[in-house]
Amino acid sequence: MNTVAHKTILARHKVNGPFGIADQAAEDYLIKNGFARYTRRPLMLLTPKGQAYAKREKAWLSQSARARS
């Protein structure tokens, strides 16, 4: 996954509102793979698929952090 796209999903998953990013490749990746959709270009919203992905990733990251400590 595109690193900027990954960080964007994790940062935006709890915020229910339009957002935009400056990285065109990350934007294309999010749209093409169904993680986000355009509201009014260039603003996007996470789709249910994007929200579910972020939830899984956040759970995995917190579990990994607990295992290390």
pLDDT of residue 25: 92
Please name the CATH architecture into which domain 3-63 falls. Answer: Orthogonal Bundle (1.10)
Contact 30, 44 (CB under 8 A): yes
Domain boundaries, given as residue ranges, for the chain: 3-63
Whole-number pLDDT of residue 36: 93
pLDDT tens digits for range 10-64:
888 777 788 888 889 999 999 999 999 999 888 999 999 999 998 999 888 888 8
Strands (E) across the chain are located at 36-38, 44-46
Answer whether residue 65 shows pLDDT above 90.
no
* C-alpha to C-alpha distance for 38 and 29, rounded to whole angstroms: 13
pLDDT value of residue 44: 92
| pLDDT number for residue 61 | 84
CB atoms within 10 A of CB 11: 12
Alpha-carbon distance 26 to 1, whole Å?
Answer: 9
